[in-house]
Amino acid sequence: MLNGTLTPKKVRPNIDLSLWEKLYIFEVVRGLYITSRHFVIHLFGFIFPPAGKKRSIPTVYYPEEKVTLPEAYRGRPLLVMKEDKTEKCVACGLCEKICPGKAIAISPREKENGDRFPFKFVIDMSRCIFCGFCEEVCPKEAIVMSKEYESLATYNRENMIYNKEMLLRPEKELKARIDYVRRIYSKCNQ
Amino acid sequence: MIADLIETIAKILFVFGINMGFFSPILGWVERKQSAVMQDRVGANRADIMGYKAIGLFHPIADAIKVMVKEDFIPDGANKIFHTLAPFISLTCSIVTFAVVPFGGQYEIFGHKVNLVIANLDVGILFVFAFASLAPYGAVLAGWSSNNNWSFLGGMRASAQMLSYEVAMGFTIIGVIMVFGSLRLTDIGMMQEDFFRWGIFLQPVGFILFLTCAIAENKRIPFDMPEAESELVAGYFTEYSGMKFVMFWMGEFLEIVTISAIVTTLFFGAWHLPFITDADLVNFFSFAGQTGSNFLAILVNVATFLMKVIFFIWLQMTIRWTLPRFRYDQVMKLGWKMILPISLINIFITAVIILV
Protein backbone atom coordinates (compact mmCIF):
# COMPACT_ATOMS: atom_id res chain seq x y z
CA MET A 1 0.00 0.00 0.00
CA LEU A 2 2.85 2.35 0.81
CA ASN A 3 4.60 1.50 -2.45
CA GLY A 4 2.19 3.41 -4.58
CA THR A 5 -0.23 0.58 -5.23
CA LEU A 6 -3.11 2.48 -3.63
CA THR A 7 -5.59 3.48 -6.28
CA PRO A 8 -8.44 5.87 -5.55
CA LYS A 9 -11.81 4.14 -5.33
CA LYS A 10 -14.35 5.13 -7.92
CA VAL A 11 -18.02 5.36 -7.14
CA ARG A 12 -19.99 3.33 -9.64
CA PRO A 13 -23.48 4.82 -9.74
CA ASN A 14 -24.83 2.16 -12.09
CA ILE A 15 -23.58 -1.17 -10.88
CA ASP A 16 -24.18 -3.98 -13.33
CA LEU A 17 -25.69 -6.83 -11.38
CA SER A 18 -25.51 -10.33 -12.67
CA LEU A 19 -28.73 -12.28 -13.06
CA TRP A 20 -27.93 -14.18 -9.87
CA GLU A 21 -27.70 -10.90 -7.96
CA LYS A 22 -30.76 -9.47 -9.67
CA LEU A 23 -32.81 -12.38 -8.35
CA TYR A 24 -31.98 -10.87 -4.95
CA ILE A 25 -33.21 -13.79 -2.92
CA PHE A 26 -29.91 -15.70 -3.12
CA GLU A 27 -27.93 -12.65 -2.10
CA VAL A 28 -30.31 -12.21 0.83
CA VAL A 29 -29.67 -15.81 1.82
CA ARG A 30 -25.93 -15.19 1.60
CA GLY A 31 -26.27 -12.19 3.91
CA LEU A 32 -28.42 -14.20 6.28
CA TYR A 33 -25.78 -16.92 6.31
CA ILE A 34 -23.12 -14.45 7.42
CA THR A 35 -25.20 -12.93 10.21
CA SER A 36 -26.44 -16.35 11.33
CA ARG A 37 -22.87 -17.59 11.52
CA HIS A 38 -21.99 -14.72 13.83
CA PHE A 39 -25.14 -15.44 15.81
CA VAL A 40 -24.29 -19.10 16.32
CA ILE A 41 -20.65 -18.38 17.18
CA HIS A 42 -21.49 -15.75 19.77
CA LEU A 43 -24.63 -17.34 21.18
CA PHE A 44 -22.79 -19.69 23.48
CA GLY A 45 -20.22 -17.12 24.48
CA PHE A 46 -23.08 -14.82 25.42
CA ILE A 47 -24.87 -17.32 27.62
CA PHE A 48 -21.67 -18.46 29.32
CA PRO A 49 -19.24 -15.58 28.87
CA PRO A 50 -15.70 -16.91 29.11
CA ALA A 51 -13.58 -15.18 31.72
CA GLY A 52 -10.90 -12.68 30.77
CA LYS A 53 -10.34 -11.30 27.31
CA LYS A 54 -10.59 -14.63 25.55
CA ARG A 55 -14.05 -13.84 24.25
CA SER A 56 -14.36 -12.60 20.70
CA ILE A 57 -16.81 -9.82 21.62
CA PRO A 58 -14.69 -6.68 22.00
CA THR A 59 -17.04 -4.90 24.41
CA VAL A 60 -15.39 -3.54 27.58
CA TYR A 61 -17.63 -3.55 30.66
CA TYR A 62 -16.61 -0.02 31.57
CA PRO A 63 -16.82 0.57 35.31
CA GLU A 64 -15.54 -2.91 36.08
CA GLU A 65 -13.02 -3.17 33.28
CA LYS A 66 -10.94 -0.41 31.77
CA VAL A 67 -9.11 0.01 28.51
CA THR A 68 -5.31 -0.08 28.63
CA LEU A 69 -4.45 3.30 27.21
CA PRO A 70 -1.51 3.86 24.85
CA GLU A 71 1.31 6.26 25.75
CA ALA A 72 0.08 8.69 23.12
CA TYR A 73 -3.25 9.12 24.92
CA ARG A 74 -3.93 12.73 25.91
CA GLY A 75 -5.85 12.85 29.15
CA ARG A 76 -6.01 15.92 31.33
CA PRO A 77 -2.79 17.94 31.74
CA LEU A 78 -0.83 17.55 34.97
CA LEU A 79 2.13 19.30 36.58
CA VAL A 80 5.31 17.38 37.27
CA MET A 81 6.50 17.40 40.89
CA LYS A 82 10.18 17.20 41.79
CA GLU A 83 11.69 15.16 44.63
CA ASP A 84 11.37 18.06 47.06
CA LYS A 85 7.60 18.30 46.60
CA THR A 86 7.80 21.45 44.50
CA GLU A 87 6.82 21.88 40.90
CA LYS A 88 9.23 21.83 37.99
CA CYS A 89 7.40 24.76 36.45
CA VAL A 90 9.31 28.04 36.22
CA ALA A 91 6.25 30.13 35.33
CA CYS A 92 7.56 31.20 31.95
CA GLY A 93 3.99 31.53 30.69
CA LEU A 94 4.48 29.80 27.33
CA CYS A 95 1.67 27.33 27.96
CA GLU A 96 -0.61 30.13 29.03
CA LYS A 97 0.25 31.91 25.79
CA ILE A 98 -0.22 28.94 23.47
CA CYS A 99 -3.34 27.51 25.08
CA PRO A 100 -6.03 27.77 22.36
CA GLY A 101 -8.85 27.52 24.89
CA LYS A 102 -7.26 30.01 27.29
CA ALA A 103 -7.66 27.45 30.03
CA ILE A 104 -4.38 28.09 31.86
CA ALA A 105 -3.80 31.00 34.21
CA ILE A 106 -0.44 31.49 35.94
CA SER A 107 0.60 34.08 38.50
CA PRO A 108 4.39 33.91 38.86
CA ARG A 109 6.45 34.81 41.94
CA GLU A 110 10.15 34.92 42.69
CA LYS A 111 11.95 32.95 45.35
CA GLU A 112 14.68 34.52 47.55
CA ASN A 113 17.41 33.13 45.29
CA GLY A 114 15.79 34.69 42.24
CA ASP A 115 14.14 31.53 40.79
CA ARG A 116 10.68 32.00 39.39
CA PHE A 117 7.88 29.70 40.41
CA PRO A 118 4.12 29.73 39.82
CA PHE A 119 2.44 31.08 42.91
CA LYS A 120 -0.86 30.10 41.32
CA PHE A 121 -1.31 27.64 38.47
CA VAL A 122 -4.94 27.17 37.52
CA ILE A 123 -6.33 25.04 34.69
CA ASP A 124 -9.99 25.46 33.89
CA MET A 125 -10.98 21.98 32.74
CA SER A 126 -14.23 23.27 31.29
CA ARG A 127 -12.12 25.20 28.76
CA CYS A 128 -9.34 22.67 28.15
CA ILE A 129 -9.55 20.98 24.76
CA PHE A 130 -6.87 18.33 25.44
CA CYS A 131 -4.76 19.44 22.47
CA GLY A 132 -1.42 18.93 24.23
CA PHE A 133 0.11 22.23 23.06
CA CYS A 134 1.11 23.13 26.62
CA GLU A 135 3.07 19.92 26.88
CA GLU A 136 4.70 20.51 23.51
CA VAL A 137 5.70 24.07 24.24
CA CYS A 138 6.97 23.53 27.79
CA PRO A 139 10.78 23.98 27.95
CA LYS A 140 11.10 22.30 31.36
CA GLU A 141 8.94 19.20 30.84
CA ALA A 142 6.89 20.53 33.68
CA ILE A 143 3.40 20.03 32.27
CA VAL A 144 2.40 16.77 30.57
CA MET A 145 -0.78 15.16 29.40
CA SER A 146 -1.71 12.16 31.54
CA LYS A 147 -3.89 9.10 31.24
CA GLU A 148 -6.42 10.50 33.72
CA TYR A 149 -9.80 10.93 32.09
CA GLU A 150 -12.17 10.20 34.95
CA SER A 151 -13.78 12.45 37.57
CA LEU A 152 -13.99 15.35 35.12
CA ALA A 153 -17.78 15.25 35.20
CA THR A 154 -19.22 17.24 38.08
CA TYR A 155 -22.42 18.97 39.06
CA ASN A 156 -20.68 22.28 39.54
CA ARG A 157 -18.48 24.34 37.25
CA GLU A 158 -16.37 25.53 40.17
CA ASN A 159 -15.23 21.94 40.62
CA MET A 160 -13.72 22.00 37.15
CA ILE A 161 -11.18 24.64 38.06
CA TYR A 162 -8.07 22.76 39.10
CA ASN A 163 -5.43 24.56 41.16
CA LYS A 164 -1.76 23.70 41.56
CA GLU A 165 -2.19 21.30 44.46
CA MET A 166 -4.72 19.23 42.53
CA LEU A 167 -2.52 19.10 39.43
CA LEU A 168 0.80 18.10 40.97
CA ARG A 169 1.90 14.48 40.52
CA PRO A 170 5.25 12.86 41.43
CA GLU A 171 7.64 12.62 38.54
CA LYS A 172 7.91 8.85 38.54
CA GLU A 173 4.18 8.49 37.93
CA LEU A 174 4.52 10.51 34.75
CA LYS A 175 7.87 9.02 33.70
CA ALA A 176 6.46 7.06 30.78
CA ARG A 177 4.73 10.07 29.32
CA ILE A 178 7.78 12.30 29.73
CA ASP A 179 9.87 9.73 27.88
CA TYR A 180 7.26 9.57 25.16
CA VAL A 181 7.18 13.35 24.84
CA ARG A 182 10.96 13.48 24.58
CA ARG A 183 11.00 10.83 21.90
CA ILE A 184 8.17 12.17 19.80
CA TYR A 185 8.98 15.89 19.88
CA SER A 186 12.72 15.45 19.46
CA LYS A 187 11.93 13.46 16.36
CA CYS A 188 9.75 16.27 15.09
CA ASN A 189 12.35 18.94 15.85
CA GLN A 190 15.19 17.34 13.93
CA MET B 1 -72.72 -26.00 26.82
CA ILE B 2 -70.81 -25.21 30.03
CA ALA B 3 -67.97 -27.40 28.80
CA ASP B 4 -67.83 -25.44 25.55
CA LEU B 5 -67.70 -22.19 27.47
CA ILE B 6 -64.90 -23.42 29.73
CA GLU B 7 -63.02 -24.74 26.72
CA THR B 8 -63.29 -21.45 24.85
CA ILE B 9 -62.32 -19.36 27.85
CA ALA B 10 -59.36 -21.63 28.55
CA LYS B 11 -58.20 -21.32 24.95
CA ILE B 12 -58.62 -17.55 24.93
CA LEU B 13 -56.71 -17.25 28.20
CA PHE B 14 -53.97 -19.48 26.86
CA VAL B 15 -53.53 -17.61 23.58
CA PHE B 16 -53.84 -14.20 25.18
CA GLY B 17 -51.51 -15.14 28.00
CA ILE B 18 -48.86 -16.54 25.73
CA ASN B 19 -49.00 -13.48 23.50
CA MET B 20 -49.27 -10.68 26.03
CA GLY B 21 -47.45 -12.42 28.86
CA PHE B 22 -44.68 -14.18 27.01
CA PHE B 23 -44.14 -12.97 23.47
CA SER B 24 -44.71 -9.24 23.71
CA PRO B 25 -42.35 -8.60 26.66
CA ILE B 26 -39.77 -11.15 25.63
CA LEU B 27 -39.53 -9.99 22.03
CA GLY B 28 -38.15 -6.62 23.09
CA TRP B 29 -35.40 -8.47 24.89
CA VAL B 30 -34.95 -10.85 21.94
CA GLU B 31 -34.60 -7.99 19.51
CA ARG B 32 -31.94 -6.26 21.60
CA LYS B 33 -30.05 -9.39 22.46
CA GLN B 34 -30.22 -11.04 19.07
CA SER B 35 -29.03 -7.93 17.28
CA ALA B 36 -26.19 -7.69 19.79
CA VAL B 37 -25.16 -11.30 19.34
CA MET B 38 -25.31 -10.99 15.57
CA GLN B 39 -23.18 -7.85 15.60
CA ASP B 40 -20.50 -9.13 18.02
CA ARG B 41 -21.81 -6.96 20.85
CA VAL B 42 -22.96 -7.77 24.36
CA GLY B 43 -26.38 -6.17 24.39
CA ALA B 44 -28.51 -4.83 27.20
CA ASN B 45 -27.51 -6.52 30.45
CA ARG B 46 -27.34 -3.79 33.09
CA ALA B 47 -30.77 -3.96 34.70
CA ASP B 48 -30.33 -6.08 37.79
CA ILE B 49 -32.33 -7.13 40.80
CA MET B 50 -30.15 -7.62 43.90
CA GLY B 51 -27.10 -7.95 41.67
CA TYR B 52 -28.57 -10.66 39.44
CA LYS B 53 -28.55 -9.60 35.83
CA ALA B 54 -30.06 -12.74 34.27
CA ILE B 55 -28.59 -11.95 30.83
CA GLY B 56 -30.68 -8.80 30.60
CA LEU B 57 -34.05 -10.44 31.17
CA PHE B 58 -35.03 -7.75 33.68
CA HIS B 59 -34.94 -5.07 31.00
CA PRO B 60 -38.56 -5.66 29.94
CA ILE B 61 -39.60 -5.06 33.58
CA ALA B 62 -37.54 -1.89 33.72
CA ASP B 63 -39.06 -0.80 30.41
CA ALA B 64 -42.57 -1.46 31.66
CA ILE B 65 -42.03 0.62 34.80
CA LYS B 66 -40.47 3.44 32.81
CA VAL B 67 -43.29 3.46 30.29
CA MET B 68 -46.05 3.48 32.92
CA VAL B 69 -44.67 6.49 34.77
CA LYS B 70 -44.03 8.45 31.58
CA GLU B 71 -46.15 11.41 30.61
CA ASP B 72 -48.79 10.60 28.03
CA PHE B 73 -48.26 13.51 25.69
CA ILE B 74 -50.74 14.70 23.07
CA PRO B 75 -49.30 17.47 20.89
CA ASP B 76 -50.96 20.82 20.51
CA GLY B 77 -53.29 20.85 17.54
CA ALA B 78 -53.54 17.09 17.34
CA ASN B 79 -56.87 15.38 16.93
CA LYS B 80 -57.22 13.94 20.42
CA ILE B 81 -59.75 11.22 19.59
CA PHE B 82 -57.90 9.77 16.63
CA HIS B 83 -54.55 10.26 18.30
CA THR B 84 -55.73 8.06 21.15
CA LEU B 85 -57.58 5.63 18.91
CA ALA B 86 -54.73 4.82 16.52
CA PRO B 87 -52.53 2.72 18.84
CA PHE B 88 -55.56 0.72 19.92
CA ILE B 89 -56.42 -0.11 16.31
CA SER B 90 -52.84 -1.08 15.68
CA LEU B 91 -52.67 -3.38 18.69
CA THR B 92 -56.13 -4.90 18.30
CA CYS B 93 -55.56 -5.86 14.68
CA SER B 94 -52.50 -7.83 15.54
CA ILE B 95 -54.03 -9.59 18.56
CA VAL B 96 -57.40 -10.54 17.06
CA THR B 97 -55.79 -12.53 14.24
CA PHE B 98 -54.82 -15.24 16.73
CA ALA B 99 -58.47 -16.18 17.11
CA VAL B 100 -58.39 -18.21 13.90
CA VAL B 101 -54.89 -19.64 14.11
CA PRO B 102 -55.03 -23.33 15.08
CA PHE B 103 -52.33 -24.47 17.45
CA GLY B 104 -53.26 -28.14 17.64
CA GLY B 105 -55.51 -30.87 16.26
CA GLN B 106 -58.85 -32.19 17.46
CA TYR B 107 -58.82 -34.29 20.61
CA GLU B 108 -61.15 -35.68 23.24
CA ILE B 109 -60.74 -34.80 26.89
CA PHE B 110 -63.21 -36.28 29.42
CA GLY B 111 -65.47 -37.22 26.53
CA HIS B 112 -65.57 -33.61 25.33
CA LYS B 113 -64.34 -32.80 21.85
CA VAL B 114 -61.61 -30.15 21.96
CA ASN B 115 -60.58 -28.30 18.84
CA LEU B 116 -57.43 -26.33 19.48
CA VAL B 117 -58.45 -23.11 17.77
CA ILE B 118 -60.46 -20.31 19.36
CA ALA B 119 -62.77 -19.62 16.42
CA ASN B 120 -62.95 -22.34 13.79
CA LEU B 121 -64.17 -20.03 11.04
CA ASP B 122 -65.01 -21.23 7.52
CA VAL B 123 -63.20 -18.22 6.15
CA GLY B 124 -60.26 -18.24 8.54
CA ILE B 125 -57.69 -16.98 6.08
CA LEU B 126 -60.01 -14.20 4.93
CA PHE B 127 -60.47 -13.16 8.56
CA VAL B 128 -56.70 -12.85 8.84
CA PHE B 129 -56.64 -10.69 5.73
CA ALA B 130 -59.54 -8.57 6.91
CA PHE B 131 -57.67 -7.62 10.03
CA ALA B 132 -54.37 -7.27 8.20
CA SER B 133 -56.03 -4.72 5.94
CA LEU B 134 -57.43 -2.86 8.95
CA ALA B 135 -53.90 -2.39 10.26
CA PRO B 136 -53.04 0.53 7.90
CA TYR B 137 -55.75 2.56 9.65
CA GLY B 138 -53.68 2.54 12.80
CA ALA B 139 -50.61 3.87 11.03
CA VAL B 140 -52.47 6.36 8.84
CA LEU B 141 -54.60 7.73 11.67
CA ALA B 142 -51.56 8.04 13.90
CA GLY B 143 -49.68 9.87 11.18
CA TRP B 144 -52.52 12.17 10.27
CA SER B 145 -53.76 13.04 13.76
CA SER B 146 -50.35 13.91 15.21
CA ASN B 147 -50.17 17.32 13.51
CA ASN B 148 -46.58 16.69 12.52
CA ASN B 149 -45.01 16.64 9.07
CA TRP B 150 -42.85 13.62 9.74
CA SER B 151 -45.76 11.67 11.15
CA PHE B 152 -47.89 12.62 8.19
CA LEU B 153 -45.26 11.51 5.68
CA GLY B 154 -44.86 8.27 7.59
CA GLY B 155 -48.60 7.71 7.54
CA MET B 156 -48.78 8.34 3.80
CA ARG B 157 -45.93 5.97 3.15
CA ALA B 158 -47.53 3.38 5.41
CA SER B 159 -50.81 3.52 3.53
CA ALA B 160 -49.17 3.28 0.10
CA GLN B 161 -46.84 0.48 1.09
CA MET B 162 -49.34 -1.60 3.02
CA LEU B 163 -52.01 -1.35 0.33
CA SER B 164 -49.54 -2.36 -2.39
CA TYR B 165 -48.31 -5.38 -0.52
CA GLU B 166 -51.80 -6.38 0.55
CA VAL B 167 -52.62 -7.09 -3.10
CA ALA B 168 -49.54 -9.22 -3.69
CA MET B 169 -50.09 -11.05 -0.39
CA GLY B 170 -53.65 -11.90 -1.38
CA PHE B 171 -52.44 -13.37 -4.67
CA THR B 172 -49.75 -15.46 -3.04
CA ILE B 173 -52.30 -16.93 -0.68
CA ILE B 174 -54.58 -17.92 -3.56
CA GLY B 175 -51.97 -20.48 -4.62
CA VAL B 176 -52.09 -22.06 -1.15
CA ILE B 177 -55.87 -22.06 -1.11
CA MET B 178 -55.94 -23.73 -4.53
CA VAL B 179 -53.60 -26.46 -3.36
CA PHE B 180 -55.42 -27.22 -0.12
CA GLY B 181 -58.90 -26.44 -1.36
CA SER B 182 -60.06 -24.82 1.85
CA LEU B 183 -60.16 -21.41 3.48
CA ARG B 184 -60.42 -22.93 6.95
CA LEU B 185 -57.05 -22.80 8.67
CA THR B 186 -57.81 -25.96 10.66
CA ASP B 187 -58.41 -27.89 7.43
CA ILE B 188 -55.21 -26.52 5.93
CA GLY B 189 -53.39 -27.65 9.06
CA MET B 190 -55.02 -31.11 8.95
CA MET B 191 -54.03 -31.65 5.32
CA GLN B 192 -50.37 -31.13 6.14
CA GLU B 193 -50.23 -34.26 8.28
CA ASP B 194 -48.17 -35.93 5.55
CA PHE B 195 -44.69 -34.40 5.57
CA PHE B 196 -44.53 -34.18 1.77
CA ARG B 197 -47.82 -32.30 1.66
CA TRP B 198 -46.43 -29.38 3.68
CA GLY B 199 -47.08 -26.04 2.03
CA ILE B 200 -43.39 -25.33 1.53
CA PHE B 201 -43.10 -28.31 -0.85
CA LEU B 202 -46.27 -27.47 -2.73
CA GLN B 203 -45.78 -23.69 -2.85
CA PRO B 204 -42.06 -22.85 -2.44
CA VAL B 205 -42.31 -19.61 -4.39
CA GLY B 206 -45.50 -18.73 -2.56
CA PHE B 207 -43.68 -19.05 0.77
CA ILE B 208 -40.93 -16.61 -0.17
CA LEU B 209 -43.40 -14.12 -1.61
CA PHE B 210 -45.72 -14.42 1.37
CA LEU B 211 -42.90 -13.89 3.87
CA THR B 212 -41.69 -10.84 1.94
CA CYS B 213 -45.17 -9.34 1.77
CA ALA B 214 -45.82 -10.12 5.41
CA ILE B 215 -42.65 -8.33 6.53
CA ALA B 216 -43.62 -5.40 4.32
CA GLU B 217 -47.08 -5.43 5.91
CA ASN B 218 -45.47 -5.34 9.33
CA LYS B 219 -43.43 -2.26 8.33
CA ARG B 220 -40.16 -3.75 9.53
CA ILE B 221 -36.72 -3.38 8.00
CA PRO B 222 -36.04 -3.81 5.05
CA PHE B 223 -39.50 -2.36 4.45
CA ASP B 224 -39.59 0.20 7.26
CA MET B 225 -40.36 3.16 5.03
CA PRO B 226 -43.16 4.42 7.32
CA GLU B 227 -40.77 4.59 10.30
CA ALA B 228 -37.43 5.25 8.62
CA GLU B 229 -35.51 6.57 11.62
CA SER B 230 -32.90 8.31 9.52
CA GLU B 231 -35.48 10.13 7.42
CA LEU B 232 -38.68 10.65 9.40
CA VAL B 233 -37.58 10.71 13.07
CA ALA B 234 -39.83 7.78 13.96
CA GLY B 235 -42.42 8.05 11.21
CA TYR B 236 -46.05 7.78 12.09
CA PHE B 237 -45.51 7.41 15.84
CA THR B 238 -43.13 10.32 16.27
CA GLU B 239 -45.57 12.16 18.52
CA TYR B 240 -46.38 9.26 20.79
CA SER B 241 -45.04 8.66 24.25
CA GLY B 242 -45.59 6.42 27.20
CA MET B 243 -48.14 3.63 26.98
CA LYS B 244 -49.42 4.54 23.52
CA PHE B 245 -45.94 4.38 22.05
CA VAL B 246 -45.50 0.96 23.57
CA MET B 247 -48.82 -0.16 22.13
CA PHE B 248 -47.42 0.44 18.65
CA TRP B 249 -44.37 -1.56 19.54
CA MET B 250 -46.42 -4.33 21.06
CA GLY B 251 -48.58 -4.34 17.96
CA GLU B 252 -45.49 -4.70 15.82
CA PHE B 253 -44.04 -7.48 17.95
CA LEU B 254 -47.33 -9.37 18.08
CA GLU B 255 -47.60 -9.00 14.33
CA ILE B 256 -44.25 -10.78 14.06
CA VAL B 257 -45.79 -13.61 16.07
CA THR B 258 -48.91 -13.53 13.89
CA ILE B 259 -46.88 -13.73 10.69
CA SER B 260 -44.86 -16.59 12.13
CA ALA B 261 -48.05 -18.40 13.15
CA ILE B 262 -49.66 -17.92 9.74
CA VAL B 263 -46.51 -18.98 7.90
CA THR B 264 -46.28 -22.05 10.11
CA THR B 265 -49.91 -22.91 9.52
CA LEU B 266 -49.87 -22.41 5.77
CA PHE B 267 -46.42 -23.61 4.79
CA PHE B 268 -44.74 -25.55 7.58
CA GLY B 269 -47.18 -28.21 8.63
CA ALA B 270 -48.95 -26.25 11.37
CA TRP B 271 -48.79 -28.30 14.59
CA HIS B 272 -47.49 -31.50 12.96
CA LEU B 273 -44.13 -33.05 13.61
CA PRO B 274 -42.64 -34.46 10.39
CA PHE B 275 -43.77 -38.05 9.66
CA ILE B 276 -45.91 -38.25 12.81
CA THR B 277 -49.69 -38.02 12.57
CA ASP B 278 -51.98 -37.02 15.40
CA ALA B 279 -53.26 -40.60 15.67
CA ASP B 280 -49.66 -41.80 16.07
CA LEU B 281 -49.18 -39.37 18.93
CA VAL B 282 -52.30 -40.58 20.74
CA ASN B 283 -51.21 -44.19 20.24
CA PHE B 284 -47.74 -43.40 21.51
CA PHE B 285 -49.13 -41.92 24.71
CA SER B 286 -51.77 -44.65 25.13
CA PHE B 287 -50.17 -45.72 28.46
CA ALA B 288 -51.73 -42.60 30.04
CA GLY B 289 -55.31 -43.67 29.36
CA GLN B 290 -57.91 -42.09 27.10
CA THR B 291 -57.85 -38.53 28.51
CA GLY B 292 -54.20 -38.54 29.46
CA SER B 293 -52.97 -39.62 26.04
CA ASN B 294 -55.06 -36.95 24.36
CA PHE B 295 -53.79 -34.34 26.81
CA LEU B 296 -50.16 -35.30 26.21
CA ALA B 297 -50.74 -35.20 22.46
CA ILE B 298 -52.16 -31.67 22.85
CA LEU B 299 -49.04 -30.66 24.75
CA VAL B 300 -46.80 -32.05 22.02
CA ASN B 301 -48.88 -30.26 19.37
CA VAL B 302 -48.71 -26.92 21.13
CA ALA B 303 -45.00 -27.29 21.82
CA THR B 304 -44.32 -28.17 18.18
CA PHE B 305 -46.34 -25.22 16.99
CA LEU B 306 -44.60 -22.83 19.37
CA MET B 307 -41.18 -24.11 18.37
CA LYS B 308 -41.97 -23.46 14.73
CA VAL B 309 -43.33 -20.01 15.58
CA ILE B 310 -40.18 -19.21 17.56
CA PHE B 311 -38.03 -20.32 14.63
CA PHE B 312 -39.85 -17.94 12.31
CA ILE B 313 -39.60 -15.13 14.82
CA TRP B 314 -35.86 -15.77 14.84
CA LEU B 315 -35.80 -15.73 11.05
CA GLN B 316 -37.66 -12.44 10.88
CA MET B 317 -35.36 -10.88 13.46
CA THR B 318 -32.35 -12.10 11.49
CA ILE B 319 -33.74 -10.57 8.31
CA ARG B 320 -34.45 -7.35 10.17
CA TRP B 321 -30.87 -7.07 11.41
CA THR B 322 -29.24 -8.22 8.17
CA LEU B 323 -30.76 -6.23 5.34
CA PRO B 324 -30.57 -2.48 4.79
CA ARG B 325 -33.66 -0.41 4.11
CA PHE B 326 -35.08 -0.12 0.60
CA ARG B 327 -35.59 3.21 -1.03
CA TYR B 328 -39.22 4.21 -1.43
CA ASP B 329 -39.24 3.73 -5.21
CA GLN B 330 -37.53 0.37 -4.78
CA VAL B 331 -40.23 -0.75 -2.36
CA MET B 332 -42.94 0.20 -4.83
CA LYS B 333 -41.06 -1.36 -7.75
CA LEU B 334 -40.53 -4.58 -5.84
CA GLY B 335 -44.18 -4.70 -4.83
CA TRP B 336 -45.86 -3.89 -8.12
CA LYS B 337 -43.35 -4.92 -10.77
CA MET B 338 -41.84 -8.03 -9.25
CA ILE B 339 -43.88 -9.65 -6.51
CA LEU B 340 -47.28 -9.10 -8.08
CA PRO B 341 -46.39 -10.59 -11.51
CA ILE B 342 -44.50 -13.47 -9.90
CA SER B 343 -47.48 -14.26 -7.68
CA LEU B 344 -49.78 -14.22 -10.72
CA ILE B 345 -47.43 -16.57 -12.59
CA ASN B 346 -47.35 -18.73 -9.47
CA ILE B 347 -51.15 -18.98 -9.49
CA PHE B 348 -51.13 -19.88 -13.18
CA ILE B 349 -48.52 -22.62 -12.80
CA THR B 350 -50.27 -24.00 -9.72
CA ALA B 351 -53.54 -24.10 -11.61
CA VAL B 352 -51.96 -25.90 -14.56
CA ILE B 353 -50.37 -28.49 -12.28
CA ILE B 354 -53.61 -29.08 -10.40
CA LEU B 355 -55.47 -29.45 -13.70
CA VAL B 356 -52.94 -31.91 -15.06
The 10s digit of each residue's pLDDT in A78-128 is 888 888 888 888 888 888 899 998 999 999 888 888 888 888 889 998 888
- The pLDDT, as a whole number, for residue B9 is 86
Which chain A residues are Cβ-neighbours of B42 within 8 angstroms?
46, 57, 59, 61
Residue in chain A nearest B53 by alpha carbon: A47
Rounded to an integer, what distance in angstroms lies between the CA atom of residue A1 and that of residue B34?
A: 37
Which chain B residues are Cβ-neighbours of A58 within 8 angstroms?
40
Domains and CATH numbers, chain A: 18-59 (no CATH), 77-186 (3.30.70.3270)
Give yes or no for a contact between A144 and A77, defined as CB atoms under 8 angstroms apart.
Answer: yes
Q: Which amino acid is at B50?
A: M
Q: Please judge whether B37 and A36 are an interchain contact, meaning their C-beta atoms are less than 8 angstroms apart.
A: no
- The pLDDT, as a whole number, for residue A55 is 52
Rounded to an integer, what distance in angstroms lies between the CA atom of residue B242 and that of residue A109?
A: 61
Q: Is the pLDDT of residue B140 over 70?
A: yes
- The pLDDT, as a whole number, for residue B158 is 86
Name the least confident of A113-127, B49-63, B79-93.
Answer: B49-63
Q: Is the pLDDT of residue A1 over 50?
A: no
- Partner B contacted by A157 (CB < 8 A): no
Q: Provide the mean pLDDT of chain B.
A: 84
| DSSP element (H, E) containing B205 | helix B204-217
Candidates B311, B317, B321, B322, partner chain A, best to mutate (most A CBs within 10 A): B322
Rounded to an integer, what distance in angstroms lies between the CA atom of residue B281 and that of residue B296?
A: 8
- Partner B contacted by A57 (CB < 8 A): yes
B151-183: buried (b, 16+ CB within 10 Å) or exposed (e) per residue? Answer: bbbbbbbbbbbbebbbebbbbbbbbbbbbbebb
Candidates A24, A41, A42, A44, partner chain B, best to mutate (most B CBs within 10 A): A42
Give yes or no for a contact between B173 and B132, defined as CB atoms under 8 angstroms apart.
Answer: no
Q: Is the pLDDT of residue B1 over 60?
A: yes
Sheet containing strand A104-110, strands side by side: A104-110, A116-124, A161-162
Which chain A residues are Cβ-neighbours of B34 within 8 angstroms?
39
Secondary structure (H, E, C), A33-57: HHHHHHHHHHHHHHHCCCCHHHCCC
Q: Please judge whether A38 and B55 are an interchain contact, meaning their C-beta atoms are less than 8 angstroms apart.
A: no
Q: Where are the alpha helices (DSSP H) in chain A?
A: 19-22, 25-47, 94-98, 133-137, 164-167, 175-189
Look up the pTM and report it. 0.79
Q: Please judge whether A28 and B39 are an interchain contact, meaning their C-beta atoms are less than 8 angstroms apart.
A: no
The residue with greater pLDDT, A8 or B180, is B180
Give the ipTM: 0.76
In tens, the pLDDT along B196-205 reads: 888 788 888 8
- Partner B contacted by A58 (CB < 8 A): yes
Q: Please judge whether A46 and B33 are an interchain contact, meaning their C-beta atoms are less than 8 angstroms apart.
A: yes
Q: Please judge whether A25 and B208 are an interchain contact, meaning their C-beta atoms are less than 8 angstroms apart.
A: yes
Q: Report residue A190's pLDDT band, with 50, 70 and 90 as the boundaries.
A: low
Residue in chain A nearest B209 by alpha carbon: A25
Rounded to an integer, what distance in angstroms lies between the CA atom of residue B187 and that of residue A48?
A: 44
Phi/psi at A78 (5° precision): -130, 160
Q: Please judge whether B37 and A35 are an interchain contact, meaning their C-beta atoms are less than 8 angstroms apart.
A: no
The residue with greater pLDDT, B79 or A105, is A105
Q: Report residue B124's pLDDT band, with 50, 70 and 90 as the boundaries.
A: confident
CB atoms within 10 A of CB A153: 7
- The pLDDT, as a whole number, for residue A100 is 92
Three-point CA angle B30, B31, B36, nearest 5°: 95
Q: Please judge whether B40 and A46 are an interchain contact, meaning their C-beta atoms are less than 8 angstroms apart.
A: no
Q: What is the mean pLDDT of residues B93-113?
A: 79
Q: What is the mean pLDDT of residues B311-327?
A: 88
Q: Please judge whether A58 and B40 are an interchain contact, meaning their C-beta atoms are less than 8 angstroms apart.
A: yes
Q: What is the mean pLDDT of residues A180-187?
A: 81
Name the least confident of B72-81, B108-117, B231-240.
Answer: B108-117
Phi/psi at B275 (5° precision): 70, 10
- Partner B contacted by A46 (CB < 8 A): yes
3-state helix, strand, coil in chain A (%, to 5): 35, 15, 50
Is omega for the bond preceding B25 within 30 degrees of 0, making it cis?
Answer: no
Q: What is the mean pLDDT of residues B250-254?
A: 86
- The pLDDT, as a whole number, for residue A3 is 55
The residue with greater pLDDT, A15 or B158, is B158
Task: Report the percentage of chain B scoring pLDDT > 90.
Answer: 1
In tens, the pLDDT along B2-51 reads: 877 887 888 888 888 888 888 888 888 888 888 888 887 777 878 778 77
In tens, the pLDDT along A4-58 reads: 566 767 777 777 777 877 778 888 888 888 888 878 777 776 555 555 445 566 7
Rounded to an integer, what distance in angstroms lies between the CA atom of residue B96 and that of residue B99?
A: 6
